[in-house]
Amino acid sequence: MDFSWSDEEQQLYERTLAFFSHLKVVTDKPLVSRTSDVWRAMGEFGVLGVAVDASHGGLGLTPLQTVHMTEAIGLGINNFGLAFAALAHAFACVEPIAKFCTPEIRETWLPRLLSGDAVGANAITEAEAGSDAFALHTEAVRDGSDYVISGVKSYVSNGPASDILLVYASTNKNAGLLGVSAFVIPTNMKGVTLGKPFDGMGLDCAPIGPVYFDACRIPGSSLLGHEGSGAQIFRHSMQWERTGLFGAYVGLAQRMLERSIVYAKERIQGDVAIGKHQAISHRIANMQTRIESARCLLYRAAWSITHEDRNRSEMLVSSAKLHVSEMAVSTAMDAIAIHGGMGCMRDVGIECALRDSIPSTIFSGTSDIQRNAIAAHLGL
């Protein structure tokens, strides 16, 4: 296990940091849209296809190289919701489509998804299928060579702005989770309705909303893999999301640490910089320790995906997702505490880290579900 970076990997990190630090984010128009300059610029930079094999036009990075790159995104970007939207698109929609879909769909959609000419989303969660992700009511019924899909998906990140959806639906109710299949569905198909975005906590420019399927007829070629392989495809995509997207949270926490250090040196109270008060310096020392341990665990988990057996890597990935998300929340809390009253003011750019971090303990499987997965891998 070697976590030192080659010159090429380090250069990619530096370029990514520079790109995202200088990204001009104007929020008077939707950012997550194929008509958005920022979305297309991210496509051109390669972020939207970070995990896609180079032979299919992506950057073809390994999971470990990916978390290094996404860490730079989280460190550089000042609108974390945009990073979340781009990485949810890249890991939970584009990568599995590139890996599992038919050549026909790959040729039609992949160039658009990679370049930013389309927005992708992943739709599995339903009102009654959240943590029990495969207890789906959405059904895909075979009709000749087509499937007819009906059901409602909730909390679809990018859903309200999406051009294409990776949808999980049951094709065999009697087979439970092994009767779940994955489909690629363009959102302009008859029978698809995109709901309005929810007014949620944090991740400000990332639209998250429901999607409705009313007898939506799609060709058989929309199926990814084979019937019943939906659970396997979802697990595969979650390995990417739980590492790649969480690299960005390590970057976000690092930014909070760096800002806290600067502030602790500048802010004078009682004739001394607040960083001279042990209460503050120890808080910062704890932030540093937590971030570094989360970073190491994330690297370890990402490395495991390509070097160790699946059971071990899934356990490490769950541990890393759990630890990084909870670390991000406590780091944001610490940053707010260190900035005092200013830390609570929106235009200072600190409190948003807390609002952006809390949802990370819920999406991609809640902290409890990660603990369940870790325990299951330990034979409990």
Partner 1 sequence: MEKSKVKAAIYTYVAQELLHGNAGDLREDTPLLDLGVIDSMSIQKVIVFFESTFHVKIPDQEVRPENFSSIEKMASFIMSLNANA
Ligand X SMILES: Cc1cc2nc3c(=O)[nH]c(=O)nc-3n(C[C@H](O)[C@H](O)[C@H](O)COP(=O)(O)OP(=O)(O)OC[C@H]3O[C@@H](n4cnc5c(N)ncnc54)[C@H](O)[C@@H]3O)c2cc1C
Binding residues among 236-265 for partner 1 as defined by CB under 8 A: 236
Segment interacting with ligand X, rule: CB under 6 A, options 98-106, 153-161, 212-220, 285-293: 153-161
Please return the burial class of 364, using the count of CB atoms within 10 Å of its CB with bins 0-12, 13-18 and 19+: buried
Region of 4-12, 145-153, 289-297, 303-311 interacting with partner 1 (CB under 8 A): 303-311
Q: What distances in angstroms separate CA 100 from CA 123, 234, 277, 374, one per listed residue?
A: 16, 11, 55, 27
Residue among 20, 80, 183, 363 that touches ligand X (CB under 6 A): 363
Q: Does 379 bind partner 1 (CB under 8 A)?
A: yes
Report if residue 367 touches partner 1, rule: CB under 8 A.
Answer: no
By CB under 6 A, name the one of 59, 124, 149, 167 that touches ligand X: 124
Considering only the stretches 77-85, 158-166, 216-224, 368-376, report the one whose residues sit in contact with partner 1 under the rule CB under 8 A.
368-376
- For 125-164, the DSSP string reads -BTTBSSSTT----EEEEETTEEEEEEEEEEEETGGG-SE
Closest CA to 42 of 76, 8, 9: 76
- Select from 91, 155, 213, 299 the one that contacts ligand X (CB under 6 A): 155
Pick the catalytic residue from 71, 126, 241, 351: 241
Burial of 243-260, coded b for 16+ CB within 10 Å and e otherwise, reads bbbbbbbbbbbbbbbebb
Q: Which does 42 bind (CB under 5 to 8 A by kind): ligand X, partner 1, none?
A: none
8 counts as catalytic: no
CB 48 within 8 A of CB 65: no
Tell me if 216 sits within 8 A of 149, measured CB to CB.
Answer: yes
Q: What is the DSSP letter of 204?
A: T
Binding status of residue 208 toward ligand X by CB under 6 A: yes
Count CA within 13 A, CB hemisphere, residue 283: 23
Q: Does 372 bind ligand X (CB under 6 A)?
A: yes
The mark string for 18-57 relative to partner 1 (x by CB under 8 A, - otherwise) is: ----------------------------------------
SS3 state of residue 123: strand
Which uninterrupted H or E stretch holds 287?
Answer: helix 278-307
Among 177, 296, 342, 362, binds partner 1 (CB under 8 A): 177
Q: Using CB under 8 A, which of 41, 148, 152, 178 touches partner 1? A: 178
The item of partner 1, ligand X, none sharing an interface with residue 229, based on CB under 5 to 8 Å by kind, is partner 1
Binding mask 296-325 for ligand X (x = CB under 6 A): ------------------------------
Please, are residues 91 and 38 in contact by the beta-carbon 8 Å criterion?
no
**HSE of 150, CA atoms in CB hemisphere, 13 A:** 5
Which one, 16 or 79, has the nearer CB to ligand X? 79
Q: How many helices (H) and strands (E) does the chain have?
A: 12, 10
State in angstroms the smallest separation of the CB of 31 from ligand X. Answer: 16
Cβ–Cβ < 8 Å for 41, 97 = no
Task: Work out the burial of residue 276: count CB atoms within 10 Å of its CB; fewer than 13 is exposed, 13-18 middle, 19 or more buried.
Answer: middle
Residue showing tokens 């807390």: 354
Q: Does 366 bind partner 1 (CB under 8 A)?
A: no
Which residues ranging from 109 to 148 are in contact with partner 1 (CB under 8 A)? 132-135
Query: CB of 335: closest distance to partner 1 in angstroms?
Result: 35
List phi, psi (to 5°) of 187: -80, -5
**179-238 positions binding partner 1, by CB under 8 A:** 179, 228-229, 231-232, 236
| Site residues, partner 1 (CB under 8 A) | 132-135, 172, 174-179, 228-229, 231-232, 236, 309-311, 314, 372-373, 376-377, 379
| Site residues, ligand X (CB under 6 A) | 88, 121-125, 130-131, 155-157, 203, 208, 359, 362-363, 365-366, 368-369, 372
Residues labelled catalytic: 241
